[in-house]
Amino acid sequence: MAAKDYCTLFPDGIPGTKYQWGDCCKEHDEYFGSGKVTYFQANLYLWHCVRRKGKTYEAVANIMWIGTTLLGWPFWLQHKD
């Protein structure tokens, strides 16, 4: 069975390294679909989760926040219906 891809349109980490953030994407997806938080709150949670992994993850966290904030609206609207 293939591993679940939680970071839609983005890698879950760097294959073969310790640099992984798929767990943050999974939690983001759960918050995103729960209806209990706003779109912005879910994306900010993702940024914080990835950023907490360490300084080396800072650029990845920023790229993911920009991507989810600017490009994630179609997914958010699909979940709201």
Ranges in the chain, pLDDT < 50: 1-2
User: End-to-end distance of the chain based on CA atoms, in angstroms?
Assistant: 30
Q: pLDDT by residue (tens digit) across 25-43?
A: 999 989 888 888 888 999 9
Q: Give me the helix-helix angle, 39-51 and 58-71, nearest 10°.
A: 170
Q: Is the pTM of this model over 0.95?
A: no
pLDDT of residue 24: 97
